């Protein structure tokens, strides 16, 4: 294949979009996980949990806007095709994100009697958003066709993603909290680690079974040998995290960041596995990135801008994380 | 209600109307917060910090509502109007992408520091975060108004195989209506925030809250409104003349002029009737429309009947009158209040109540203005290139209807909660617990601290 803008730009945009999705899943994943888990706590602990994501959730959610925006501008036909098929779960996701986002602000500002309601909306919104994302992922994997078997699979992935986000959220809390709440977070992490492992195994087994193309991608030689490290490293990470979590929290709290890093590693590996399975299709088995791409001139304009701006975004995001480094404290506006 | 196009339209209109309320506040409120912050840095007067602390909460709340409703928009572009991106995606795409890359991350990234970083960063960094959030909201407004203006007055492109391709990005960005529309919108945002700040401050003042931040807020809101409204009227007139040049059918609908004629009258009131192509119960002043549209008492104004494509007349006609009416009310109220503040350092109780009543006047005026320009563009989605009908999706009507009802319920609930929370915060800040006991609350007059603020202004 010749290397013209028309051939490499769609691939570059698929990469950018993948990066945005991955960052969204990891970053808002821990927000949503903390939101889901906050339903099990009351009072001060709940406030502290929500405080730990307070300065970040807005920026984290922006990666979703970028991912959907890139899908819209770089692969306009795919945007309509995918989101049109997923019309109702998208509406559910949006409802969840709306509730979660506004509840965060309202719970801190409305009359005392209303706070409990906004807390419920916060938990419900976080859970709904996670469920819908998982459901959409499941339907996407099986090619966006709604048969009974496919919908059951999508419901399974929905539950798995809730478990996965809860795991990510609990490892975030291990890192950002201390004392009683941290011990609770370790217990949550142990439970959700097992559930996430089951879910990931289920998705990994079903995906090649539903698509011959994906089967060939993974199980033909030499791909099988070259790709073997992906599932093996993932399994090893699960095992290692299980061991680490059994020894946490330590008295010195020196390794509180370890589970979060491990969880991010698992999400990255899982994401790469999926990305590898689907490339070059942006709508599974229907539209490739080249077929769905916008005009090269327009993509080039965005690409150049993205190359300049993305490093700056990463830099100031890192700056924001550094400012709020360490254990979460109560949120105060001043 | 089984027409998918109509339902998709109502759904999109509901979402975008709900969404625009919050950026309209945050675009300008970000700069107002910066003003408070800079005044505090300069004078060390606690009143400015007080005002900052109160308004930053409302900023955060408005911002969150803007973000979540904005995410909805990014999905609905594709679900409701797939034909839009398929036809003009090569132009709309980069503009939207630049909005996300240059504005959304900037706002969201520094908002956390601005809201919660007070104890963790130096005052200088905190001020910088405030600057960057305000800059971010304004950049966002720039890109989205470029896109909207391009849809109104497209330029710098060519159609190949039914798809628009960019030929000149400079012409696309600085398309004919962009400078006018952007300025008009930024001023509308300024006025919306000014009346919000003035109205809520007046409410607190009427509730005998004499904490120093209240007078600072009241004066800032009133003087800002008084300064912006004449500029807005001037810019609005220029924007109208620009529209006359590029979208004359819209102007004819705004004015309610059906027949092309010399010496066209200004229709003060009437009921536009599409069936008879005339206005019922018309009250009109001769020659005025010709004068302000062509600057000639006998100038010719094209009527609706001479256009092949024309928008629905009544909504444009009434929305325009609502916008202008509120604009004139803003002029009267803000100048009266400003005059009273300059003369005696406070406003009369009746004027304060009018300010409270006008707390959200900016919203109504802004929405009316948007209805004028967006409905006035119909039947086009992109003038001369794509109609709304061509861009509609094939999603089934019941599906759109069910989600539409869901969105409407959520939005109505959130709007009620938003307004209730603002006034709750206003009442709470006046509660005795929040008061410094060293500062006696005195009925009917300002405290020493309040007077200090007044003097500082």
DSSP string, B100-153: IIIIIHHHHHHHHHHHH-TTTS-HHHHHHHHHHHHHHHHHHHHHHHHHHHHHHS
Do residues B323 and B365 make contact, with C-beta atoms less than 8 angstroms apart? yes
Read off the pLDDT of residues A11-39 as tens digits, 9 standing for 90 and up: 999 999 999 999 999 999 999 999 999 98
- Residue B121 with chain A: CB contacts under 8 Å: 323
Q: How far apart are CA A156 and CA A134, in angstroms?
A: 8
Cβ-proximal residues to B276 (8 Å cutoff; 6+ apart), any chain: none
CA-CA distance, B85 to A75, in Å (whole number)? 9
What residues of chain A lie within 8 A of the CB of B117, using their CB?
55, 323-324
A30: closest CA of chain B, how far (Å): 17
How high is the pLDDT of residue B355? 94
Q: How far apart are CA A36 and CA A132, in angstroms?
A: 14
Say how far apart CA B182 and CA B171 lie, in whole Å.
Answer: 15
Model ipTM value: 0.86
- φ, ψ for residue A281, nearest 5 deg: -80, 140
CB atoms within 10 A of CB A121: 20
Whether pLDDT at A165 is above 50:
yes
- DSSP string across B1-41: ---HHHHHHHHHHHHHHHHHHHHHHHHHHHHHHHHHHHHHH
Confidence of residue A48 (pLDDT cuts 50, 70, 90): confident
Using CB atoms, pick whichever of B60, B85, B424 lies closest to residue A72.
B85
A109 touches chain B (CB under 8 A): yes
CB contact under 8 Å between A295 and B163, yes or no, is yes
Q: pLDDT digits over A113-152, tens only?
A: 788 888 899 999 999 999 999 999 988 888 888 888 889 8
Average of per-residue pLDDT across A81-95: 87
Q: How many CB atoms lie within 10 A of CB B37?
A: 23
Q: What pLDDT was estimated at residue A1?
A: 55
Domain boundaries, chain A: 5-323
Cα within 13 Å of Cα(B53), Cβ side = 16
Confidence tier at A331 by pLDDT (50, 70, 90): low
Check CB contact of A143 with chain B, cutoff 8 Å. no
Q: What percent of chain A has pLDDT over 90?
A: 20
Run of H or E residues at A281: strand A281-283
Chain A to chain B Cβ contacts (< 8 Å): 209
Q: Which residue of chain A has the CA closest to B410?
A: A95
Condensed to tens digits (0 to 9), the pLDDT of residues A63-75 reads: 888 888 888 888 8
- Pair type for strands B163-166 and B157-160: antiparallel
What is the distance between the alpha carbons of residues B385 and B129, in angstroms, rounded to a whole number?
Answer: 41
Residue A326, SS3 per DSSP? coil
A47 SS3 class: helix
**A313·B101 Cβ contact <8 A:** yes
Q: How far apart are CA A181 and CA B166, in angstroms?
A: 56
Q: Which of B68, B86, B116 faces A102 most closely, judged by CB atoms?
A: B68
Is residue A166 predicted with pLDDT exceeding 70?
A: yes
The tally of CA atoms less than 13 A away on the side-chain side of residue B391 is: 27
Report how far residue A322's alpha carbon sits from residue A315's, in angstroms, rounded to the nearest whole number: 11
Dihedrals phi, psi of B74, to nearest 5 degrees: -65, -30
Helix (H, G, I), strand (E, B) or coil at A253: coil
Pairwise CA distance, residues B171 & B156, whole Å: 5
In this structure, chain A runs to a length of 334
pTM score of the predicted model: 0.88
Distance CA A288, CA B289 (A): 56
User: What pLDDT, on the 0 to 100 scale, is given for residue B446?
Assistant: 36
Q: Does the beta-carbon distance from A59 to B394 stay under 8 Å?
A: no
Low-confidence residues of chain B: pLDDT under 50? 432-457
B378-402, pLDDT tens digit by residue? 888 888 888 888 888 777 888 888 8
At residue A234's C-alpha, the angle toward residues A233 and A240, to 5°, is: 85
What pLDDT was estimated at residue B433? 44
Residue B360 φ then ψ, to 5° = -110, 20
Which residues partner with A74 through β-bridges?
A: none
pLDDT tops 90 at residue A228:
no
Task: Mark which residues 63-82 of A lie under 8 Å from B by CB.
Answer: 64-66, 68-74, 76-77, 79-80
DSSP per-residue letters across A196-230: HHHHHHHHHHHHHHH-HHHHHHHHSTTHHHHHTHH
Q: Nearest CB to B111: which of A58, A77, A87?
A: A58
Give chain A's mean pLDDT. Answer: 86
Cis peptide before B258 (omega within 30 of 0): no
Position B452 scores a pLDDT of 40
Q: What is the C-alpha to C-alpha distance for residues B435 and B450, in angstroms, rounded to an integer?
A: 14
Nearest-CA residue of chain B relative to A55?
A: B112
The answer to whether the Cβ–Cβ distance between B101 and A84 falls below 8 Å is no
């Amino acid at each position: 294949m010749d290397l013209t803008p028309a051939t490499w730009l769609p691939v570059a945009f698929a990469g950018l979009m993948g990066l945005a999705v991955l960052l969204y899943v990891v970053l808002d994943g821990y927000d949503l996980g903390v939101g889901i888990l906050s339903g099990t706590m009351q009072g001060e602990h709940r406030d502290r949990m929500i405080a730990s994501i307070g300065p970040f959730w807005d920026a984290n959610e922006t990666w979703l806007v970028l991912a959907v925006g890139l899908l819209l501008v770089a692969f306009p036909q795919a945007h309509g095709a995918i989101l049109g098929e997923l019309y109702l779960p998208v509406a559910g996701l949006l409802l969840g994100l709306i509730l979660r986002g506004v509840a965060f602000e309202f719970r801190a500002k409305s009359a005392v009697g209303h706070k409990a309601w906004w807390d419920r909306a916060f938990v419900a919104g976080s859970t709904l958003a996670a469920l819908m994302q998982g459901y959409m992922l499941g339907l996407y994997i099986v090619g966006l066709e709604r048969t009974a078997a496919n919908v059951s699979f999508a419901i399974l992935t929905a539950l798995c993603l809730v478990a996965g986000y809860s795991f990510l959220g609990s490892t975030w809390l291990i890192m950002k909290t201390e004392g009683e709440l941290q011990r609770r977070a370790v217990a949550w992490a142990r439970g959700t680690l097992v559930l996430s492992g089951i879910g990931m195994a289920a998705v990994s087994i079903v995906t090649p079974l539903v698509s011959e193309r994906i089967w060939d991608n993974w199980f033909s030689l030499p791909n099988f040998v070259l790709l073997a490290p992906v599932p093996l490293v993932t399994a090893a990470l699960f095992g290692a995290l299980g061991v680490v979590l059994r020894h946490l929290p330590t008295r010195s709290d020196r390794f509180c960041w370890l589970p979060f890093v491990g969880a991010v590693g698992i999400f990255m590996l899982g994401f790469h596995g999926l990305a590898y399975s689907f490339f070059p299709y942006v709508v599974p088995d229907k539209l490739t990135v080249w077929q769905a791409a916008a005009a090269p001139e327009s993509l080039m304009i965005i690409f150049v801008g993205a190359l300049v701006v993305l490093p700056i975004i990463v830099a100031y995001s890192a700056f924001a994380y550094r400012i709020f480094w360490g254990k979460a404290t109560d949120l105060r506006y001043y | 209600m089984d027409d998918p196009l109509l339902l998709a339209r109502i759904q999109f209109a509901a979402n975008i109307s709900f969404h625009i309320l919050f950026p309209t506040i945050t675009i300008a409120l970000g700069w107002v917060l910066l003003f408070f912050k800079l005044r505090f840095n300069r004078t060390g007067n606690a009143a400015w910090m007080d005002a900052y602390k109160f308004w930053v909460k409302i900023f955060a709340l408005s911002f969150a509502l803007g973000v979540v409703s904005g995410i909805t928009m990014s999905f609905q572009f594709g679900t409701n109007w797939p034909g839009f991106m398929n036809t003009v995606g090569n132009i709309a795409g980069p503009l939207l992408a630049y909005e996300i890359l240059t504005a959304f991350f900037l706002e969201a990234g520094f908002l956390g520091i601005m809201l919660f970083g007070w104890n963790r960063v130096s005052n200088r960094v905190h001020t910088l975060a405030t600057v960057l959030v305000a800059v971010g909201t304004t950049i966002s407004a720039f890109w989205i108004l470029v896109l909207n203006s391009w849809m109104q007055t497209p330029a710098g492109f060519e159609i190949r195989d039914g798809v628009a391709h960019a030929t000149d990005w400079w012409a696309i960005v600085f398309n004919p209506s962009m400078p006018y529309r952007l300025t008009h919108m930024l001023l509308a945002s300024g006025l919306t925030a000014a009346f919000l700040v003035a109205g809520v401050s007046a409410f607190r003042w009427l509730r005998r809250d004499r904490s120093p931040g209240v007078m600072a807020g009241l004066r800032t809101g009133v003087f800002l409104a008084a300064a912006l409204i004449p500029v807005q009227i001037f810019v609005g007139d220029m924007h109208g003349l620009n529209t006359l040049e590029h979208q004359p059918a819209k102007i004819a609908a705004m004015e309610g002029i059906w027949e092309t004629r010399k010496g066209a009258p200004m229709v003060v009131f009437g009921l536009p009737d599409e069936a008879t192509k005339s206005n019922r119960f018309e009250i009109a002043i001769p020659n005025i429309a010709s004068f302000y549209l062509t600057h000639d008492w006998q100038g010719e104004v094209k009527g609706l009947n001479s256009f092949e494509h024309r928008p629905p007349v009544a909504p444009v006609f009434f929305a325009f009158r609502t916008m202008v009416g509120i604009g004139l009310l803003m002029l009267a109220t803000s100048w009266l209040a400003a005059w009273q503040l300059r003369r005696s350092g406070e406003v009369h109780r009746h004027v304060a109540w009018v300010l409270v009543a006008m707390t959200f006047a900016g919203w109504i005026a802004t929405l009316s203005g948007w209805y004028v320009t967006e409905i006035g563009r119909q039947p086009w989605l992109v003038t001369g290139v794509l109609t709304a009908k061509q861009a509609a999706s094939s999603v089934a009507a019941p599906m759109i209807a069910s989600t539409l009802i869901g969105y409407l319920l959520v939005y109505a609930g959130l709007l009620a909660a938003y307004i209730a929370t603002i006034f709750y915060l206003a009442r709470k800040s006046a509660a005795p617990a929040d008061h410094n006991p060293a500062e006696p609350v005195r009925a009917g007059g300002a405290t020493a601290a309040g007077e200090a603020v007044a003097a500082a202004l």
